[in-house]
Amino acid sequence: MPSRFTHLHTHSHYSLLTALPKVDELVGEATKLGLTSLALTDNGNLYGAIEFYSACKKKNIKPIIGVDFYVAARTRTDMQAGVDSRRSRLVLLAMNEAGYRNLVKLITRSHLEGFYYKPRIDRELIALHHEGLIAITPSFSGDIALALKGRNPDKAREWAAFYKKVYGDRLYIEITHHPEIDGHEPAMKTLAEFAKAENIAIMAAHDVYYIKPEDRFARETLVRVNSHTDASERVSESDEDDFSFISSERAEELFRDMPEAIENTGKIVDACNFEMELGKWVFPKLVVESGRTPDDELKHIVFEGFARRKIEQSPEIVARAEYELKVIKGKGYSWRGSQISIHLNMRSPSSDS
């Protein structure tokens, strides 16, 4: 029976100065290893989403679009030095179009409202934009894992209660196995026991930052650039840690004592069925409140600008404006009902054709 394991916590080079693989390399490795699905969860952005979706479709791999979000220590508007530079993480995966739209909303607001070193979301945004999303609290830097690591089970239960209230049975606790990292296995045992006690499902992951184990040094160099550290300073949990793109067989071996964690990655894949329609323009519906046609409204705005800027409407200026409006309508920006077809082709009155 084929493995149900799928990489659901995966970073590309769009996780800037943190991960190495290009999108086509991730998809290529998934194809090589016989995987039929794959997620992309870059840090705080969707830069690679369309590229990833297209690449997966070409290889008959089911694409799952997600984001590895930064969660503010307090609220997204708190920006106190030495306090709010701390962040936890939350992986969100789009199940459908509503989920994808909420990813976009969360990213937009994290950048415009919560940016402090990194684009951050908070409990308010998490609760507001939760529809259509599966939540995974990470094994290294998720709020629950950090609370347990800090020997604060009450705080862990508080976060668990919040996430369960928001996501219900769409919440998972990520378990990873890194025998090479000192203390990680006991931490995962504690995390799994906590999940069982709180009736939260666990899922298997291997937080991918590069393709091959031998790429570890290159990735470490990248992280040093990001963190402004030199070769004498440690940037990894261990000198032998492995965050490569492991095979299903390796995942089955690592999680042989937790088969339900592997099975749950399959359940998550089955629940994520977002289809992205590519190859067509999607424009907002334009409502002109004045009742004018879009062309007349544009002309009105242009001539209003003359008066506002106290520009004399000389015959030359008016002729130029009329010409540019004609270009915009016929050669440049074409207004068609409530949609705008954009094709830049601006020419001067003296051009030949």
Token duo for residue 284: 């907002």
Write down all domains in the chain, each with its CATH number in brackets. 23-271 (3.20.20.140), 281-353 (no CATH)
Give Dmax over CA atoms of the chain in angstroms: 83
Rounded to an integer, the average pLDDT of 107-123 is 97
Rounded to an integer, the average pLDDT of 298-318 is 88
Q: 59 to each of 1, 25, 70, 158, 301, how far by Cα in Å?
A: 22, 12, 31, 42, 49
Cα 42 from Cα 120, distance rounded (Å): 14
Pick the more confident residue, 228 or 121: 121
Q: What pLDDT is attached to residue 285? A: 78
Residue 248's identity, in one-letter code, is S
Q: What pLDDT is attached to residue 282? A: 76
What are the residues whose beta carbons fall under 8 Å from the beta carbon of 45, sequence distance 6 or more?
Answer: 14, 15, 67, 107, 119
Q: What pLDDT is attached to residue 330? A: 65
Residue 334 has pLDDT above 60, yes or no: no
Q: 10 to each of 30, 39, 208, 294, how far by Cα in Å?
A: 11, 6, 5, 45
Token duo for residue 123: 């409990």
Q: What pLDDT is attached to residue 275? A: 96
Helix axes 315-330 and 294-308, enclosed angle (nearest 10)? 150
The pair phi, psi for residue 76, each rounded to 5°, is -70, -20
